[in-house]
Structure 1
């Protein structure tokens, strides 16, 4: 069964459960800067949708399949929400995360964080009108 999976390893080259070096994309310095810039843009756009009480942070880390992007929001009450994904790395593509993807992630995170607050204060706040 291990022979059917890319995680089975290659005898003498790659241990079982590890990715082969050829499978993990190597980013150029320009792509790394672009990725960090795009992630910062997602965090900034998410901050624009939310009041100052919400804490927004972003991170780029290395995962088994290459760089991993995580943007998280900590609302004033309720649970934190996050979005994590692996950008699509195609040869010759300057933009690693498109405007549409950035907008979608920022809006989704803001909406999820607002919902967390709404669920946390459910029933404890008296409505001002109907």
Structure 2
């Protein structure tokens, strides 16, 4: 099991093209931990903004009567991928992992796989 800081560092070192990672509380919008890969991304702003994305999707699922969970959310920009992965463990309820990737260097399938592995090993 890994703590939040080690998990975020692992994401940055093992996911090709990673430019920033955060563990976020979507109740408050606060980043509980961040690791910046030098990409110039303000991870506290990203945490707050992506909290709105997660909340909106959860509300929409509830209105649609979908009894399901979010595995991950992908936002594709012209030069970046942004992955949001809500934690599924009881201790991680209300939290999500956020990973920003350089689109030219990232392998999206491998990034999703690695983020799922990091989530499984994360202890919060």
Give the structure-1-normalised TM-score. 0.28
Q: Which protein has the larger Cα radius of gyration, Structure 1 or Structure 2?
A: 1
Q: Quick one: higher RCO (CA 8 Å, sep 6+), 1 or 2?
A: 2
Give the structure-2-normalised TM-score. 0.29
More strand as a share of residues: 2
